Every structure is written in structure tokens, then in C-alpha cells.
Chain A
Amino acid sequence: MNKLQLEEPKRQSPVGVAVIFFRNLRIAVNILVTAIFVQFGTAFSILGLSIYQIAIILGIIFLIISYLQYRRFFFFVKDDKFIIEKGLISRDKITIPFDRIQTVNIRQNIIQQLLSVVALKIDTAGSKGKEMEIAALEKSYARELQKFLIEKKELESEDADEATTEKKEKPFEISSEGKEPLVHLGLTELLKVGLTENHLRSGIFLFAVINGYIWQYEEYLLKPFEPFLKEQANNILAQGLILVPLALVLFVVISVVFSLIQTLLRYYDLRFYVNLKGVQLKSGLLRRNEYQIPVNKIQQIKWKSNPLRAWVKLRTLVIKQASSEETSDKQSVSVPGSSPRQLITVLQEFFPERSKKILTTLAPQNLLFIQLAVWLAIIPSFVLGASYFFNAPLYWLTPVYLLLAIFFIYRYYHSVKLVLMPEVLELKKGWFYPSATYVKFYKLQNVKLKQSIFQKRRKLMSITFYTAAGDVTMPHLKAEEAKAIYNYCLYKIESSTQSWM
């Protein structure tokens, strides 16, 4: 506390001006480029000033604004709260009680890397969309502050539950100094991970982004080619048969390249540490991210894979923590190139009681197969088949589609399993994209039973397990099994005194 000098309102590191400036610049460029440049081109002028002069003037204005923003940004500690004050015209005061802090993460984008400062981001449960980032701090100071906040937070939450007799844990600290990471992605592994990304998703994402930009800058990008395109139009139509497969190949190649670049940027020099206190992840090329999750914050541990990645014997490990938004896999700690052995190490670390005793393994009833087959195979087949009457060219695909769909659905149906252990539940799902989620019973915060009229006749129920980091559903169990699990979950939660969040 003394070292941090937080009793008095404190400013960021002076180079924060630059960090804020570039942040503002990025926002401004995004807005201005689309608004002005595209509308008027370089010929744009106001009050007899050329676009370059305007750029310089705007730049100076931004610099002043950034400097003022820096001057007016304070953070300090008052009583049991961490307070951030900011804002040029309207003063914003963000108050974070220590016990509301969920995580404190350190980030670094390229500007911050050049200026050797880091950003500190504070996440709370429940408050959506509040910016709680200190953009520029000396690295050592940020680390101290991170440690201080987490310690404070732990103390606060412990004071709050005096009723429990749990022994006081030491303040959380995962130091990775001088230790071997469990997973370290070198260039070979990175290449493997990049080549086995979900290329279809990358491709579609890229296509969507580029498509959006092309329409924005349409005039500039396509106009020069217009005469050429017109001239070629007839030829192109004739060559359509060649061009379509060519476009497909191009799409695949670009998707793979894009996946590779994305992987390199996100996972470069990934180091993943595990110990009894929690997990820590460092990764990234231009923007170095650092995440840590203390062990009591871990809500779900999950692995998933895809056919390509499974083929090189790698899986993606995902560790989910409590979050105010619905946690998508991107927001949680994700280690894309873990070997099965490393996965087991992690599971063993956090669920040592796992696999010692499996109470029971449950499979969904065949209504799952029937429902999926009706919705995803039979109805689409009817639509596809009916297209015959409208002279659509692809109706002959119907039987191929039907067979393939039924096959995939059958394999999927057989892959769904709920494994119950005394303290942990495991939900396996997926054949093409296999995954398994592990949740400790006492981490649940809500259980739900569902029964549609189709299930009612067959005496089936689905059960959904909610954690602070999202939910998992086991479909179509026998009603009495589902109810027994429901009662068991409630019993496990209600008899637990461990801190779950």
C-alpha cells in the first residue's frame, strides 16, 4: 500500500498521453476515413485548407484532448473501494468495491509494447460495459497493483463470510518466474495449431469483414477496374464453370493463410502455467496478453477439438471463469495446442478425485436422434426434394444429403454422454467436433429441469446446469434419472461451504 501510494489520487505513467492519443486516433480514423475520405476523396477541403492541413490541425487537437484526458484520469483507494475518476467534460467516477473485483488482467498492445507500459484491466461480475481500464502503467507498478487488488479482494471476501469455518487461504499469487510452463507453443506447434484451426470459420469471418469494407470503399476499390470488368463480363460468364472452383480454391487458401496469421498473432510464444493456486496464460505477438485465473474462480474446464486437430493429436483446452457477459470461449483462457497428456495433467491438478470413482454414465434416450433427424435431415430433405418442382438444379443432392445427415446425427447422438462422479460432472458432446466439459457440483448456481410435450409422453426430461461462466445441458434423460441428478446437485451445492466464485 505504501509503495503503491494509493491514498492520494494518482495519475498514469506520463507516456499514457501517447497511449491515449493513439487510442483516440484509432477511433477517429475509423470514423473520419469512412465519413470524409470516402465521401469527398482527397479533393476534400474546408475553409480553404487541404486535407493534409486539416489532418495536422485535427492531430494537434487530439493531442491536446489526449493530454487533458491523461491529466484528468485518476485512480486511488478509499476505504474498501478502488476508484477511477476520468472524463474531460463530464466527470465519470467509477467505484469498485474490492469484493466485487473478479479478475485483474494485464494487457499490452503494440503501442504499449513500444513505450514499455502495460494496461491494467479490472473485471467485475455483473456490471456490463463499464470501462475499467488503466491504459498506461509501468510494468512493475502494474504487477504490484494487480497483486494488491487481488489480495484486498481476497481479504474482503473472507471478512464477509465469517460464518464459515474455512481456514484463511493465503493471498492468491501465481508466480511463473523460473518455472516450466505446462504448455509452451514453439513455432512447430504454432504451425500445427494454425493449420488445424477451424478454417471455415476464419474464411467466413474474413469474408464478412472484407465484404463490409468493400461496400464502404466500393467506389475507390472497384471503379478503376470497371471498364475492364465490363469488357470481360461476357467472357466471365462463359468461364463461370472454371471460375467457381477457382474461387473455392482461393477461398480455402486465403482462409488457411488467415487462420495462420491469426494464430501467430494470438498464440505466439504461448506459455501456460498450472499450479495449485490457479492457472496463468501469456501469449500474443503484437499484443501480449496475460491472464490468470485463481483456482477458486475456475468454473468450468473444457476441451474441444476438430477432425484436423484430432489428427495431429492436439486438443484445445478452455478454462472458464465467472464473467458478466455470457462467456464465449474467446473470453476465457484457451490453450489451443494441448496434448491429451497435458490435458490429463490439468484435470488431475484440479479434479484429483476424478476417475477414481465413476458413479454412473448416462446416455440420452433416442428421442434426441429422432428430433435431430427430423429437424436437420428429413425436413431439409423435403425442402431440397421439393425444389425439383421449381426446376432448381440441385434436387438430385437430396438422397446424398439425407444419408450424410443421418450418419452425422447418428454419430453425434452416440457421442453425448453424461458422466457422474461424486464431486464432478463431465458432459461429452460431439463426434466431428468432440468436446468435454468438467464442472464441480458445488460450482453450480442453478439447476433446471425441462420437459416438452414430446418428452412428457415418453417420460423424459432435459437438465441444464448453470455456472457463473455459462451453462451446459444434457438432453433427454429418463425423468426419474434427471430428477435424481437435480436433487443431488441441489444437495451438493447447499451442503457446500467452499467459496465458489
Chain B
Amino acid sequence: MLLENLKIDPSELPDIEETAFEKLEPDYLWMRLTGWGLFFVVALGVLIVVNFTSEAPAWLFFGPWGLLLVLVFFVEIRGFGIKGYAIRQKDVSYKSGLIWFSMTSVPLNRIQHCEVSQGPLGRLFELASVRVYTAGGSSSDLSIRGLKKEQAHRLRDYITRLSAEYE
């Protein structure tokens, strides 16, 4: 690798912004909405019980509930288009976040290992996520969520194979 000693012009560096990010499976949005839906149903149940036993006016409980529901669903639906991942020759990237946008890239030569994980909701929707581990603490790990199961396995194998070349 002779690149190291070359003088480089910052404007000629590969730009992550020009990379086309892959969108996540539309089913993943439904999965997230289902998850939130379950949460709000349970919360509603709790609130109804609390409301029966308390003398405070009902809107004090159900107002914030409705407001939060609208807000969460708005952020989920609007924010879904922002989520995406990109695999370049030498790194893996993931971006997300409507209110707090974040984009992170892990170079393949820094990946420790890589695995597929699937939660109970994921099994229902046949979706899985690929988790990329780096050394040290877990704060620098990266997760690509909302992939079809076969696709997740393919991606895991691909990343594992590429990152193994550096070891």
C-alpha cells in the first residue's frame, strides 16, 4: 500500500456524501410501527387503570399519551427515508435520525467480528439486523437494521470475508 506516502488533495478523497445509500426494507417501518403500537396499547391499558383509581381529570393522562403517539409516529414515518446503509470497498456506513441525524462508518480493517441478530418482532416480519463489532467498548459498534433475513446473512458473510482479508 503506497497510498500512505502520497500527497493528497482533500477534495479528491472519496466523499461519503456521493455514495448512494441503500434504503431499508419497507417492512422494517411496519415492524417499528407495530413495536410502538404495542407499547402504546400497553401504556393505554395502564393509563385506563390509573385513571379509574385517581381523581385527576382524564385528559391529564390521555392528552400526553395522544401527543406522544402522534409525535412518535410522525418521526418514525418521516425519519424512515433517512435511514440507510452503504457498503463501499473499504468501509460500512449507516445513517439515521430525523431529529438527531447521525452517520457512522466503520472501516473493514477495524472490524473484529460481525453477526446477524433477530428479535421476536423480527421473526414475525422475517427481518434481521447485522451487527458489526469493533474493539473496545460497545459505543463504537454499528448495527444495520431492517434487512431481509437472507440478505442479512449474505451481508454478514460478505463483510466477514472482506474484513478477514485485513487480519
Give A residues with C-beta under 8 Å from B.
Answer: 125-126, 160-161, 163, 299, 322-327, 444-453, 456, 466-471, 483-484, 486-488, 490-491, 493-497, 500-501
Contact = CB atoms under 8 A, between A and B. Distances in A.
Contact of A487 (B13, B104, B142): B13
A497 B1 contact: yes
B101 interface: yes
A494 B108 CA distance: 8
Interface stretch (B40-48, B114-122, B130-138): B130-138
B99 to A, nearest CB: 5
A452 B105 CA distance: 18
CB-CB nearest 3 A-B residue pairs: A466-B140, A468-B136, A445-B110
Contacts, number: 117
A449 B94 CA distance: 11
B109 interface: yes
Given A488-B13, A494-B90, A450 B140 contact: no
Interface stretch (B2-10, B26-34, B61-69, B143-151): B2-10
B59 interface: no
B107 interface: yes
B97 to A, nearest CB: 8
B140 A471 contact: yes
B134 A452 contact: no
Contacts of B108: 494
B4 A446 contact: no
B13 A469 contact: no
Interface stretch (B14-22, B50-58, B153-161): B14-22
Contacts of A446: 104-107, 110, 134, 140, 142
Nearest to B111: A445
A483 B102 contact: no
Nearest to B3: A495
A327 B135 CA distance: 12
Nearest to B104: A448
B103 interface: yes
B127 to A, nearest CB: 24
Nearest to A479: B17
Contacts of B137: 323-327, 470
B139 A445 contact: no
Contacts of A451: 97, 100-102
A490 B91 contact: yes
Given A161-B167, A163-B165, A163-B166, A447 B105 contact: yes
B136 A322 contact: yes
B52 to A, nearest CB: 33
Nearest to B98: A453
A469 B107 contact: no
A362 to B, nearest CB: 13
Contacts of B10: 484, 487-488
Contacts of B16: 483, 486-487, 490
Nearest to A453: B99
B48 to A, nearest CB: 34
A445 B106 contact: yes
B100 A491 contact: no
Contacts of A322: 135-136
B103 A448 contact: yes
A469 to B, nearest CB: 6
15 contacts: A299-B136, A323-B136, A326-B136, A445-B107, A445-B135, A448-B105, A449-B102, A449-B103, A450-B101, A471-B140, A483-B17, A484-B13, A486-B105, A495-B3, A496-B1
Contacts of B112: 125-126
Q: Which of B17, B105, B136, B140 gathers the greatest number of chain A CB atoms within 10 Å?
A: B136
Q: Which of A126, A469, A494, A495 gathers the greatest number of chain B CB atoms within 10 Å?
A: A494
Contacts of A160: 167
Given A446-B140, A490-B91, A468 B134 contact: yes
Contacts of A453: 99-100
A470 B139 CA distance: 8
Contacts of A501: 135
A490 B136 contact: no
A154 B110 CA distance: 18
A468 B17 CA distance: 26
Nearest to A449: B103
Contacts of A496: 1, 4, 109
Given A161-B166, A470-B137, 13 more contacts: A322-B136, A323-B136, A444-B110, A446-B105, A446-B142, A447-B104, A450-B100, A468-B134, A487-B16, A494-B108, A494-B109, A495-B4, A497-B1
B114 to A, nearest CB: 14
Contacts of A444: 110
A501 B110 CA distance: 9
Given A448-B103, A466-B139, A494 B91 contact: yes
A297 B165 CA distance: 21
A452 B136 contact: no
